Amino acid sequence: MRKLPIADVLPISASINGAGRLAIQGRDVREIVEEFGSPLYIYDEATIRAMCRDFVTSFREVYPQTEIEYSTKAFSNPAVLKIIEDEGLHIDVVTGGELAFALAADFPVEKINFHGNNKTRQELMEAVEAGIGRITIDSFHEIELLNEVAGELGKTQVVNLRLSPSVDPHTHRLTSTGVLDSKFGFSIETGDAEKAVDSALSQSNLDVKGLHFHLGSPLFELEPYDEAVEYVCAFAARMKYVHGLEMEEFSPGGGMAIGYLGSKLPPSIAEYATTIADSLTAACTKYGLTEPRMIIEPGRSIVGRAGVAVYTVGGIKRIPGVRTYISVDGGMGDNIRPALYEAEYEVMSVDDPTGEFFGTATIAGKFCESGDVLARDVKLPEVGPGDLLALPASGAYCVPMASNYNVQPRPAIVLVTEQSETRLIRRRETYADLLATSVYE
Ligand SMILES: *Cc1c(COP(=O)(O)O)cnc(C)c1O
């Protein structure tokens, strides 16, 4: 069997089959697309499970009291939530819609945490009424609003406080969240975090369990976690002394990177785990804190590598001495990441993954924006109309951020199971779906 190029950014079950084409769990990708249509998102169950297990094992090995909490905003689907539940993970949501989606998939409500910087009264009502496990409070307004809502419903709500530790994660400006100039969290630096602890502890319907931060994403470096854990633990020790806060739970968020390009691979999950656990253990000893239960919140790293987007090539435009544009049947409508924050992807020919280099081309989407480009200047074998191109590492933040710009129906999604079955887990939208919300007089 021929060796698969860029294997580190493809699903773990990817291979080249007897016909010389890309396969996932032994299933020929071209045949899957012929059955379910193009463009198509294909998810590999084996990769999702392997990532869940890698997180659980790597973290518990170095810090036994760890829970892994999957961020459903990275990609949510009833079939995927079943796998996540089956692997023993918790989840988080950031809107009432994501909560409704998780509840519709029968995810245990006590294992759900509600994040977000501006939850509405209605959303908080829905969450508290449903019996949600945790709410992570993000603003002074929310402390009072949630206390009021819980009071009205006659409940005591378990909460954590989201802090902003002023640590630069060295990722894209638009995906940094734990810096001083951010809409997220109570800043330790400005004194807001202390005021929030004081205020939350004084509310009669809130049970404050601990502290949380999330630095941003994707983080290819380990040092920012180390720096932020130490800083937040020093803060927790001060809050224990001054306000009597017992930090029973602690969360350093998610943001663990995945490989998008074969030339830029992230640290292993075990390396993230060791860094975070070592800093937490050391800080607890240094500041005399009881070691808290730790909650790790990966989103991208659980599903990113599991997903592959497949597009069909249409027109090819050659501008001599300038560039060659290969247009495909999807684009920013199903993957806005390159346009939004200059995300980069590998591109692979599905029909000829090991094909000889033919030329450099830019993969353009079909949407009416010049910025609708999926990948710039990628090296490809010879491709023509009707050929299939795969974008690996498309499992996170593509479909969830998809839009219906240009009234383009969003793609179907297929899960390839560990038993090599192909299961449609989201049907392709139809024109009727898109027309349904308009009001015709
Ligand atoms: C988005 C988010 C995560 C997950 O981030 P990933 O980069 O997908 O791992 C975790 N925690 C919070 C609070 C988030 O907003």
Domain boundaries along the sequence of the chain: 7-37+306-435, 46-303
Q: Supply the pLDDT for residue 346.
A: 98
Which residue, 327, 308, 332, is CA-closest to 317? 327
Give a three-class secondary structure readout of 265-311: CCCCHHHHHHHHHHHHHHHHHHHCCCCCEEEECCCHHHHCCCEEEEE
Beta bridge partners of 294: 66, 250
Superfamily of structural domain 46-303: Alanine racemase (3.20.20.10)
Residue 123 CA, chain-centre distance (Å), reads: 21
Q: 201 C-alpha vs ligand 1 centroid, how far in Å?
A: 26
Question: Which residues, judged by CB distance below 6 Å to any ligand atom, belong to the binding site of ligand 1?
Answer: 71, 73-74, 115, 214, 217-218, 253-256, 297-301
Ligand 1 nearest-atom number relative to CA 69? 10
Q: Supply the pLDDT for residue 222.
A: 96
| CA trace torsion 117, 107, 211, 153 (10° rounding) | 70
Question: 7-37+306-435 maps to which CATH number?
Answer: 2.40.37.10
Residue 20 DSSP symbol: S
Site to probe by mutation for ligand 1, drawn from 112, 217, 295, 341 as the one with most ligand atoms within 8 Å of Cβ, is 217
Site to probe by mutation for ligand 1, drawn from 84, 112, 115, 256 as the one with most ligand atoms within 8 Å of Cβ, is 115
> Residues 301, 307, 312, CA angle at the centre, nearest 5°?
145
CA distance 240 to 287: 10
52 in active site: no
The torsion angles phi and psi of 291, rounded to 5 degrees, stand at -65, 120
Please name the residue whose Cα sits nearest to atom 10 of ligand 1.
254
CA dist 14 to 23, 351, 392, Å?
Answer: 6, 14, 10
Q: 301 C-alpha vs ligand 1 centroid, how far in Å?
A: 10
**Strand bridging mode 249-253 / 134-137:** unpaired
Residue 197: CA count within 13 A, CB half-sphere: 24
Is the overall model pTM greater than 0.85, yes or no?
Answer: yes
Q: 149 C-alpha vs ligand 1 centroid, how far in Å?
A: 26
Ligand 1 nearest-atom number relative to CA 299? 8
Ligand 1 nearest-atom number relative to CA 217? 7
Please name the residue whose Cα sits nearest to atom 3 of ligand 1.
254
Q: Hey, what are 304's tokens? A: 């990113």
Mean pLDDT by 10 residues, the chain (441 residues): 87 97 98 98 98 98 98 97 98 98 98 98 98 98 98 98 91 78 93 98 98 95 96 98 98 97 97 98 98 98 98 97 97 97 96 95 97 97 97 98 98 98 98 96 84
Ligand 1 nearest-atom number relative to CA 304? 8
Coil, helix or strand at residue 117: coil
Q: 398 C-alpha vs ligand 1 centroid, how far in Å?
A: 15
Q: Residue 74, class by beta-carbon neighbours within 10 Å (0-12 exposed, 13-18 middle, 19+ buried)?
A: buried
- DSSP letter string, 333-366: TT--HHHHH------EESS-TTPPP-EEEEEE-S
Site to probe by mutation for ligand 1, drawn from 67, 72, 89, 92 as the one with most ligand atoms within 8 Å of Cβ, is 92
Coil, helix or strand at residue 257: coil
Residue 400 DSSP symbol: G
Q: 92 C-alpha vs ligand 1 centroid, how far in Å?
A: 9
Cβ contacts of 270 within 8 Å, gap of 6 or more: 54, 58, 61
Residue with the two structure tokens 């470096």? 221
CA distance 328 to 350: 14
Of 52, 284, 368, 398, which one is the catalytic site residue? 368
Residue 315: CA count within 13 A, CB half-sphere: 5
Ligand 1 nearest-atom number relative to CA 256? 9
Q: Supply the pLDDT for residue 179.
A: 82
Please name the residue whose Cα sits nearest to atom 13 of ligand 1.
214
Q: Supply the pLDDT for residue 228.
A: 96
